[in-house]
């Protein structure tokens, strides 16, 4: 019964992430149609990918639990969903004109490298590590953009990307320490991060354009 309730909670959180991600994608698409901004086009792809990634996990788990009656849910569904989300994170980083995939700072490398070299590393570990790097890159670039522009909307973007990065980091730890509450905290943090991004993105159709980390 505990396994079933945890699965239902996981399904509900992932479906919520799916709805928020798709809604962000729709607003980005409307903004792109109104402005022709290449940044909004990339964000359109990004948010749809993130939403679909959540949806793959949520609907996949729902089918396995309620249709097939499995008490144990296959990890490959989660790995596939996270992989699709990572595609979205890449387009967010690309919207900043990403210069290099791996950070050059030695201090930052000392933090990131352990994510890849943990013994028994699974594919999910690697995907989450890539997501974390991309999101941290986007967060830093957005903060630097805010220091130049001082625009309030940029704060929401930085907060949203930072929460997504924290969610992926906690998700990585939930893989290392399975059956802990960290996984649900990770999902909730990522959804809150998407919610923060919803604030500036939802205003795009009204304003006719936006700045995203200094890009147009």
pLDDT (tens digit per residue) in 42-71: 888 999 999 999 999 999 988 888 887 776
How far apart CA 150 and CA 154 sit, in angstroms, is 8
Confidence of residue 106 (pLDDT cuts 50, 70, 90): low
The answer to whether 131 touches 168, Cβ cutoff 8 Å, is yes
3-state secondary structure of 65: helix
Question: Taking the domains of the chain in order of start, what are their residue ranges?
Answer: 2-207
Nearest to 24 by CA among 212, 169, 167: 212
Whole-number pLDDT of residue 102: 46
> Can you tell me which residue has the tokens 């792109």?
32
Whole-number pLDDT of residue 96: 59
pLDDT score of 113 more than 80: no
How far apart CA 59 and CA 18 sit, in angstroms, is 10
The answer to whether 193 touches 17, Cβ cutoff 8 Å, is no
Query: From residue 69, how far is each of 5, 79, 107, 122 by CA, in Å?
Result: 13, 20, 47, 26
Give me the chain's average pLDDT, please.
77
- Across 110-142, b (16+ Cβ under 10 Å) vs e yields eebeebeeeeeeeebbbbbbbbbbbbbbbbbbb
> Can you tell me which residue has the tokens 């596939």?
80
Q: In the numeric block, which tokens belong to residue 62? A: 């729902």
pLDDT winner (highest mean) among 78-87, 103-112, 113-122? 78-87
What are the tens digits of pLDDT across the range 12-26? Answer: 999 999 999 999 999
pTM passes above 0.85? no
Whole-number pLDDT of residue 154: 82
Q: In the numeric block, which tokens belong to residue 204? A: 């795009």
* Alpha-helix runs per DSSP H in 36-149: 38-62, 75-94, 106-112, 114-117, 123-149
């Amino acid at each position: 019964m505990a396994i079933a309730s945890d699965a239902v909670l996981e399904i509900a959180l992932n479906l919520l992430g799916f709805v928020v991600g798709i809604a962000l994608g729709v607003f980005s698409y409307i903004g792109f149609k109104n402005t022709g901004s290449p940044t909004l086009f990339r964000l359109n792809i990004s948010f749809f990918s993130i939403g679909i990634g959540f949806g793959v996990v949520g609907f996949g788990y729902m089918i396995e639990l309620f249709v097939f009656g499995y008490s144990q849910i296959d990890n490959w569904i989660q790995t596939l969903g996270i992989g699709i989300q990572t595609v979205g994170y890449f387009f967010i980083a690309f919207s900043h004109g990403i210069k290099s995939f791996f950070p050059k700072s030695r201090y930052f490398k000392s933090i990131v490298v352990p994510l890849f070299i943990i013994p028994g590393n699974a594919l999910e570990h690697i995907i989450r590590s890539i997501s974390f790097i991309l999101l941290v890159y986007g967060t830093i670039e957005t903060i630097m953009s805010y220091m130049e522009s001082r625009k309030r909307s940029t704060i929401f973007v930085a907060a949203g990307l930072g929460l997504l990065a924290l969610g992926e980091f906690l998700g990585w730890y939930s893989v290392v320490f399975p059956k802990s509450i960290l996984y649900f905290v990770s999902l909730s943090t990522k959804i809150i991060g998407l919610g923060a991004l919803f604030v500036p993105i939802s205003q795009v159709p009204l304003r006719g354009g936006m700045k995203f980390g200094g890009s147009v």
